[in-house]
Every structure is written in structure tokens, then in C-alpha cells.
Amino acid sequence: MAESVTKQVPEIRLDPLGADHHGEAARMRSLGPVVRVILPGDVPVWAVTEHALLAQLVTDSRVSKDWRNWSLIQDGTITDEWPLVGMIKVTNMVTSDGDVHLRLRRQLTRAFTRGRVEQLRPRLNEIVSALLDALPGHAVGGVVDGVVDLRPHYAYPVPMQMICELVGVPVDWRPRLRESVDSLVRTNATAEEVVATQRDRHELLNRLVELRREEPGPDLTSALIELGESDPEALSQEELIDTIWMLVTAGHETTLGLIANGVRALLTHPDQLSLALDGDAETWSRVVEETLRWDSPIGNFPARYPLEDITIAGVDIPRGDAILAPYSGVGRDPAQHGPSADRFDITRPQTKHLAFGGGPHICLGAHLARLEARVALPALFARYPHLTLATDAAELPPVPSFFSNSAATLPVHLGTPNPT
């Protein structure tokens, strides 16, 4: 599929199984500041490999986020059967520019301000506490010495319950939505799986909109439906469906990864864990920021499309090509974080990272994600202070994806809990 590309720019094929995000990012960096990346299906895109270049790229107004500007979609090379199409061909704020982006983002900004998010804390505490109570019940082989997988039983339900309550998704619909998100981020899915997932997702979201139209509640779906009905210019049906989808996806897959990666980082760095256990809320906020920098749950995010020919670090990128944002990769860029960039260190003085992106598309849910992780992580270790990994960290299987950077399972021994 790839037409001939500029010969002197190094090329790398991303591993669709996401087996070694950080090793791959280090290899990309060693090849140069801008590399040619080959995606499944031999689809050629670009990636910048340095923090400073990514920080510029996300604020560059010559670069669009709208997939309609990708020449391989325009000329029909990429079809709806391409396995990664579900991450790209959506119509919401993530994939829009300028006034359209502002219109779609403004509708939701108020729901995610620091103040509004802080009001969710009591409900979050309840959810976390109930999940912690339930953990021993999931232990296979005895409560203290048995094994619990923290990914499905803690890291996932904390953000999933929060976002589904905000969006108004009924409890029994959530597992199907989760399956859909899971299949979306997997970069090793087959064409048939992709088409089936897209169909399933559309059907589910259309039913959700019907349900909330008939039974409105104090949730974001009902609010968006009302907005679209009172002013069709404000939100089309397609934008409504894709916005709800984006909220559910962005609202849990990422934070699930953050909580799981935070637990893994602490359990594999006992010195940092004991600093955290001896610390206060500020220390836990450092844990969260360092996890975001060192092991960002977003690996490589699609995509940006130059609206004119541009040059980045001496490399010419033609108009209409696609550029990936390697968020987890730049978190360990030594040019930004110094020679110790590879080390997980919650005491590092400078933790500025790009895990939430930057520029006009900076993460809308950053306050919510931070709150969830700042509550879920200390609560877990306060209740189960003797928590240990039940397997060697190197054995933890990765999520098969270059979009998501996290372990697919997180088996632990709970140890003796603290009394509640």
C-alpha cells in the first residue's frame, strides 16, 4: 500500500501486539527526531519522537485533526475494513478543528472543570470503598495468599463506573460497551472483527440515545440530546453518537491504564512505594504525575494531518499525510527529562509531561483522571498495605495495542488487609 517514501528518513514498523512500548520508543528516538512509521496493512504515517517536537506539533495550527484531510482516506486506499479505522473515522471534538472543535468542546467543558469534578469525590470514595471491600471475594486460592487480578476488579471499574454514571449508561449495558472499547484499542484485530465491533457500537449507542430520549436523567447524554433538539445546528445526530462514544472510551480506557500502571510501578519500586506510604496527598499526586510521565497509558495516538507541506526537524512532511503522537514514548525523552528519564522517581523535581496532550485538544478529562487516580491508588495501598505482585513484572502480558500502553492482567496477592 505504501507509495515510495523519502528514502533518507528511517522507517519502523509498529508492533501491533504492543509487546514493548518503551523499547520501541527508544528505538524510534535513536533513529531520529522524525521517523516514518508503518502501520498494519502497510499504511505509512509519521511520528515525532521528542517531547519538544510533540509539544510544538500539538499546538501547530497548520496541522488538522480531521481524518477527512488524510489523503489515503480521500483516495480510497484506506477503507472501513482497515483494522484501525475505528480509532480514526469518528466525528467528535477529537477529530475536528477550529470553530467546529470549539463548538463541540464548549458543550462539555463545564462538566469537567476542576470544581465540578471535585464535587464527584464523595461518589468516587463510595465506589472505591465498595470495590476494595469486594476484592477478597475475587481472590482465587484464598484471601491472603490467593491471586486477584486488579485490572478487571479495580483499575477498570473505578473509571468505568464514574464515566458511565456521568454519561447515563445503565449498569447492565456496561460489559458490552467495554467489549467494544477493548476491541477498538486492540491493534491486532481482523477486518471482520472491526466491522462487527463498529456495527455493535453504533447499535448500542443509538439505543442509549433512544433510552435517554424517553427517560431523560441528570446525565450528559440527556443534556446533549436536549441541546441537539433545541438547536440542531449545535449538535448533529452523528456528532451526538460519536461524542458519547468518545466520553465512554476516553473516560475509562486511559484512566484504567493509569491506575494499573501506577500499581505496577509502585509494586516494582519498593523504595518509591515506601515514600508514598509515608507521604501525604501531595506525595500521591507526585506518584500520579510520575506514572503519567514514565508510563503514560496512551502509547501512540492517531493522528494529525498537515494542511500544507511542513518541515519538522529538517524532514519534509507533505500535506495530507498522517502524523502519530507517541505520548508514552516522549515521557522518557532524556532531552526533556535528563539522563534519569528511564527511572520511576516520584521525587524528581521536574515532572512536566505531555500525557494529557497540549494545545486546543488538551485532555478534557484530565481533572477527572487525576482525581480518580489520586483517590484509587492511596486507598488501595491503605487497605492492602502488604500487596505484592503475584507474578514477575516482566511476565505481565501487555494489552495487544500500540494505542494503549498497559498490562492486560495485574495479578496480585492482597496480603492481610487493614481493618476498615
Which spans of this chain sit near ligand HEM (rule: CB under 6 A)? 93-94, 105, 246-247, 250-251, 254-255, 258, 296-298, 301, 325, 327, 355-357, 361, 363-365, 368-369
In the bound state with ligand HEM, the residue whose beta carbon lies nearer, of 24 and 372, is 372
| 110/114 Cα distance (integer angstroms) | 9
SS3 20: coil
In the bound state with ligand HEM, the residue whose beta carbon lies nearer, of 136 and 360, is 360
Amino acid at position 337, single letter? H
Using alpha carbons only, what angle is made at residue 43 by residues 17 and 181, rounded to the nearest 5 degrees? Answer: 45
Closest by Cα among 90, 93, 112, 111 to 103? 93
In the bound state with ligand HEM, the residue whose beta carbon lies nearer, of 109 and 125, is 109
Report the nearest approach of ligand HEM to the CB of residue 315 (Å): 20
Report the nearest approach of ligand HEM to the CB of residue 285 (Å): 13
Report the nearest approach of ligand HEM to the CB of residue 91 (Å): 12
User: How many Cα atoms are found within 13 Å in the side-chain-facing hemisphere of 327?
Assistant: 27
In the bound state with ligand HEM, the residue whose beta carbon lies nearer, of 287 and 390, is 287
Report the nearest approach of ligand HEM to the CB of residue 392 (Å): 26
The CA–CA distances, whole Å, from 5 to 155, 288, 325, 326 equal 42, 40, 20, 21
Most distant CA atoms of the chain, gap in Å: 64
DSSP assignment letter at 110: G
**Nearest residue to ligand HEM, using CB?**
365
In the bound state with ligand HEM, the residue whose beta carbon lies nearer, of 183 and 261, is 261
The grid cell for 91 is 466525528
| 332/50 Cα distance (integer angstroms) | 9
In the bound state with ligand HEM, the residue whose beta carbon lies nearer, of 256 and 414, is 256
Cβ atoms of residues 275 and 260 within 8 Å: no
Report the nearest approach of ligand HEM to the CB of residue 110 (Å): 13
Report the nearest approach of ligand HEM to the CB of residue 357 (Å): 3
Report the nearest approach of ligand HEM to the CB of residue 386 (Å): 27
The cell 506514572 sits on which residue? 291
In the bound state with ligand HEM, the residue whose beta carbon lies nearer, of 255 and 413, is 255
The grid cell for 53 is 517536537
In the bound state with ligand HEM, the residue whose beta carbon lies nearer, of 183 and 328, is 328
| 131/385 Cα distance (integer angstroms) | 16
The grid cell for 264 is 505496577
Report the nearest approach of ligand HEM to the CB of residue 81 (Å): 25
Amino acid at position 240, single letter? L
